[in-house]
Structure 1
C-alpha cells in the first residue's frame, strides 16, 4: 500500500509540474509472473522507469515501446505479454494487435501472462495569444475553460482589464513558453500586427493563425518579406483564423478559432475519454 501511495504522489507532482510521462499498470496476471495485478510504474519519455515495478525483461521491452508510442499520439494502450503457445491459440503473433490489445511474447521460463495498461499523461496544450483585442481576451477565457495553458502577450498599456490567462507578458516577445504542444494566434487588431506576426512565426507550434482578412494578411506578408522573413515561414499562418461559422461577435470568432484548433489538436486521435486527451 505504501509503494502505491508513493507512486500516486509522484504522479500528482509530475502532473502539477506539467511534465509528460506514462503510468503503466498491471491489470491482470495468469500463472507465475514477476509483477502482480495492481503493480504500477512511472515511465519518462526517454524510457526511464523512475518509480514502481512492472516486471523484468519479459515485459519491459513491450511496455517501453508502447509507452513511447503513447506519448507521441496521446492514446492509451493495453499490452498483453503471453507465451508463444497462447498467442498461437489466439491466432496472433507478437507485435500484432487485436480488439485494442497489443500482444507480445513472453520468452521467460515462467511462461506467465501479464496484461499492462499503458496510459500517457501529457501537459495541458499551450495556447499563445499575441494581442489584447476583444477576440484575444475572449479566446483566452474560453481556452482556459477547455484546459489550455494560456499565455497572452501584449503591451501592458493595451490591457484595460487583466486577461484570464496563466501567463501575461508585457509586449510581444514570448519567452520561457510552456513546454507542451503549442498553438499560436495573433489578434492585435491593428496594434503591432507586424511585430506580433514576426514573434508568432518564430514560435515552434502546430498551428499559427492571424485574426484578420486575407487581404490584410497579404499586405502584411509583403511587408514581412521585405523585412527579410521567408515566404514559406509566413505562409504557415492561417488567415483568417478560425472555421467559417459566420461568426460576428468577438466571442463567436474566438469560438470558431478554438474549434479549428480542436481539429488540429485531435487530428489522428481517437476519443478515448482518458486523461491522455488533455
Structure 2
C-alpha cells in the first residue's frame, strides 16, 4: 500500500504489528468515550450505526491502550496544530499478522493478481437504504471501500474489533451501553469554514457499481475547525458505545440529523 493519499484521505502506516499486543491492566475499564448515533432501525441490508454527535469536544486519545497509540495521538495533535489538509486519516499497521489481545477479526480483503478484490465481513460493501429522516447530501467514498482501492495486488487488509463489539459501515467498532452511561444529552459539533471546500463531480466504484455524483473536495491547504457543545432536545434514544478498530483513526467531523439517536463511543 505505497500511496500516502487517495481521494483526499491520508493513509498512514504507523508501523508493524507482528506480535499480539496486550494493553496494560489500567486499560481494562477505561472511561467511556460516547457518541450519539443513528441506529440501524429502519435501514435495510446494512449494519447502519453511524456516529453523529460526540458527548464532549476534544480528540479521542489512544495512549498506551492501543498499539502505537501514543504515536497516533502525537500525529493527530500535530495535524490539528498545523491545520488539516485531508478529509480523514486512515492509520494502518504493516507488516501485521495478529489482532490485539481481546480483539477478533471482523473483516478481510485480498486484492488478487488481476486487481479484483475478494472481501468478507466488514469489507463487504453494504447496500444502504434508509428512511426519509436520514439527511441525503453529497456522496462520499466509505473508508473501507477506499482502503480496498489502495491495496496493491497480493496485499491483504484485516480489520479487528474488540471481541464484544460489532462493526459499522465506516470502519468502526461499537457496542451498546445503558442510556444512564451517557447522562445529560450534551454533544460536540465541529464547524468548518465553507471556503475550505467545494462541491465537485466524481465517479468511484462501490459494490461493483460505478457511481457518479457530487462530492466535497477540500480546496484549502490548511483547514481549521471550531467546536461548540450544546444540549440536545429529548428524543427516542438507544445506547451504543463505539471504538475504532486497531489500525484506523478518523479525523474530526461534526454532523447533525433528525430522527432516532444512539449512544456511541469512540
Same fold (TM over 0.5): no
TM-score normalised to structure 2 length: 0.24
The answer to which structure has the higher strand fraction is 2
Larger Rg: 1
TM-score normalised to structure 1 length: 0.24
Question: Which structure exhibits the higher relative contact order, with contacts defined as CA atoms closer than 8 Å and separated by 6 or more residues?
Answer: 2
The answer to which structure has the higher helix fraction is 1
